[in-house]
Structures are given as C-alpha cells and as structure tokens.
Amino acid sequence: MTIKDIIGLILLFAGLFVFIICTIGLFRFKYVLDEMHASALGDTMGIFLTVIGVILLSDTFIHVLKLLAVVGFIWLTSPIATHLIGKTELLTYSNVDEFVRRNDDDS
C-alpha cells in the first residue's frame, strides 16, 4: 500500500463522515433552510472529498477526467439549486419574519 492509497482512503472516509453528519442534520433540523444548509454541505464537501479520494485510488487518466467532470458539474449546479430552493422558501413561507424573531429570542 502506497502513500497515495492511504491518502485516498483517508479522503474517502472523510467524505463518508461528512455525509453521515449531513444526514443526521437533515433529520434533526426542523426548518427547511436549516435542512438545506446540511444537504448543501453534503453536496459540496462530501462529494468533493469522496471523488478526490477515488481519483487518488484510480489508475487510468480517463477515469480521472470523468471524475473531475463530475466534481465540476456538481460544483456548478449545487449552489444554484440551493439558492433557488432557499429563495422559494422565503417567498412562499408567509410567517418567515415571525419564525426568525422567535429563533433569535431563543439564542
């Protein structure tokens, strides 16, 4: 086992850890924007760590190019989708001001 393999496995397990934490956050949070934050973190950080780990473990250059294309596509589309979901929630939720004030008073 080489150092490249060890770093690849560490990155894979780090990505798995991020996915587990994000999944717990999805079930624990009650408000849509909080859940959206947890899922967006899983999209960007978890997939990035996992794919970089797989890139280090892969042998062929064509696989590396395909995986880099996947990372690029996700990093281009995920923030846009997350922004649109958050904007839709803020525009359609009629009591958002009351909810924000109530949560500010709790902290």
- The residue written with tokens 């996915």 in the block is 19
Q: How far apart are CA 41 and CA 82, in angstroms?
A: 10
- The tens-digit pLDDT sequence of the chain (107 residues) is 899 999 999 999 999 999 999 888 888 887 777 788 888 888 788 888 999 999 999 989 999 999 999 888 988 888 888 888 888 877 887 676 666 666 656 55
The whole-angstrom separation of Cα 50 and Cα 34 is 23
DSSP 58-105: ---HHHHHHHHHHHHHHHHHHHHHHHHHHHHHHHH-TTHHHHHHHHHH
| Cβ atoms of residues 15 and 47 within 8 Å | yes
Q: pLDDT value at position 35?
A: 81
Identify residue 59 by its one-letter amino acid code: D
Side chain identity at residue 77, one-letter code = T
In this prediction, residue 103 carries a pLDDT of 61
pTM of the model: 0.74
pLDDT at 100: 63
**Cβ(42)–Cβ(19) under 8 Å?**
yes
